[in-house]
Structure 1
Amino acid sequence: MSAIRFFHMADLHLDSPFKGLFGLPEHILKKIRLSTFEAFDKIIVKAIQEKPDFLLIVGDIYDGENRSLQAQRRFQDAMEKLFQHNIPVIVSYGNHDHLNGTWTRFALPSNVYELPAETSVVQLKIRGQQVNIYGFSYPERHLRESVIESYPTAHDQHALHIGMLHGSEAGNTTHDVYAPFTKQQLLEKNYHYWALGHIHKRQLLHQNPPIVYPGNIQSRHRKEQGMKGFYDVTLSKTSTELDFISTSAVVYSTIEVDCTDVVHANELLKRCAEAITANRKKFGASVVELHLQQIDEQTEALFEHATVDAWLETIREAEEGIEPMCWVQKMVLQKAARFYEHTATTQSVVSLMEQWDSNEWKDILKDLYQYAGGARLIEPLSEKDIENLTHRAQTLLAEEIQRA
């Protein structure tokens, strides 16, 4: 039997509000606001051009349970276009667009299979090959319990079996833990492919059979850096080909600028401009953070009479009108490394910090996260945040002891 081909995507978050963006010119803000739609349009155009056998959308099509009118209209129009080209779409809804939400309903065309709250199977016949696709939609937002037991074990050796699951690997706390599972539980189902959603980072949890997170199709904030997109999958009973296709309309990235031997303002501005140009060539439209590295005392003196905000404004003015757009959201000064020897006292504190797990760090920072005025402005603590906090705390401790 010939192989089948499908697109695997998840976490479209159409019409995301993009919170936390301040001070942007109107045309840049509009570009960012529409980026989820632009990314989705790229998928539809490619599907119509290349005609895969079907599309899988694994949860969180919409950003909220109310499913905005604009997002629903854009999605419905896209499904109508796919209907005209005889391309089936299998859809599950996740924690953001669960079935218990309230929204003005649109009728989707008959090529779209919307999975119900109970785990169900969609059966397709593709060039004589039977394909069974299993999955469910979230009945409500907070689905904390495991549902993997409701998926049937595959016994039909003549069919291809694909599982759709919007959820978290047990023990992964980078996102809210919903519909938890283990790799072993998925493998025991004897499926040929697991199409996952919910985690916005692209990941291959298992090679054969593939257990795959495609990530989201468009970054929505600074912690979702790099290219986003979906997988173009060619699947048979004996092999799988995964081709990642980028869809990002706007890429979030960090630009590192080497400031070694920078003494004058024009030197610093030139190096920033060169770094931004390289980023533009690599990613296209983007929102970036400039990390100025190797800041020694001479370079630091450039910031004595002009604030970081003033430098930011100058750099933004220089980039204004250049396409594709590159908005410099933030500038971070990273001073040249200074090495301090730890005393017995500081070393004992350092050793203690290295033993703290994520729960202990959260307990230490609970006053910050529980303060109503600030909690809504900060994102959940990640493993990378903890690593940075540990490093910074150790450096500050050594510096203070050195000064004493």
Structure 2
Amino acid sequence: MTAFSLDPGQTAWCAELRALAGQQLRPLADKGEPGHVNRPLVAALGRLGLLSRLFSSGALDLCLMRESLAQVCTEAETALALQGLGAHPVHAYGTAAQRARWLPGVTDGDAVAAFALSEPGAGSDAAALALRADEDGTGGWRLTGEKCWISNAPEADLYTVFARTTPGAGARGVTAFLVPADRPGLTGTPLDMLSPHPIGALAFDAVPVTADDVLGEPGHGFRVAMNTLNLFRPSVGAFAVGMAQAALDATLAHTSRREAFGGPLKDLQTVAHQVAEMALRTEAARLMVYAAAAAHDEGAQDVPRRAAMAKLLATETAQYVVDTAVQLHGARALRRGHLLEHLYREVRAPRIYEGASEVQRAIIAKELYRTAERPEGAVSR
């Protein structure tokens, strides 16, 4: 297997995922309530073994799952991804007791996880976190402050929370905590967002946490957050590629059968060229996502740059492809319930969450200059 092609087994698995999404997951998604956790859908992902695969395979498998599900059922894709994002820090940095307590429930689909990093004043600038973790004199801390734009909040069962344990220390003063939803002082409110999946705000009023709740080491929470995002950023790109492919497929079908100006739309050069551009950009984004995922799985040194490039290109591409698909479909694509109306609402958010497009450009430039300034032959660490 190379970074730029899939073997027959992977191709067959992707087809199987699309079939499962259409036959078993799409009906459950249709019964869900927008803005709320669809627990039957999460349970089905667990029953099908997809949630356990989040923690037993690499970035490329994650990307293939997200792309394949997104082509057929974006709700299933998002439910799967949010379980992975929220619980990956537990899998990667948790103690044996933490993993034993929570991961079985997450992989079975019984426990819903959430990744609580963003704040009202610290979205893209994650090092500027203001949620305080004040020592309580017993070896533990009290969390005080707010989190905002948190997917699966306020309905999750466990939160990976990033809080400032050392004031004024920037990224070096952040600690990651595993916080069950029933901790005293933790409350949440849902936010009415454009995207249909649940997003909310969390309020921490002296929420108690102990050394047993720390993920990784105290003061090293920023590393936990960034390593998690380096894994999931390419897969956000895969989600975007899946949506772009769904929009492209719908456009190919529509322009082949829609009659206008004496023939099918596909016979108009201006339409055919737009469809070709949609396909070109989608495939380019797909290849960059696969390459970034393969680099992550191989432990390459340039993962942050590749992950940022993959997310940036794929999410911007998906926005273009879906928008062009809407234009070629005309007014029917704006009708509530149409596939493209749904994709149009879904496709906007990935250009913002897990690092906005502007943040990805900043990461890319930083990594490029770091490489250029390193003496020839030096090894990056």
- With normalisation by structure 2, the TM-score equals 0.26
Comparing both structures, which one devotes a greater share of its residues to strand? 1
- With normalisation by structure 1, the TM-score equals 0.25
* Higher-RCO chain (CA-CA 8 Å, sequence separation at least 6): 2
Comparing both structures, which one devotes a greater share of its residues to helix? 2
> Highest Rg: 1 or 2?
1
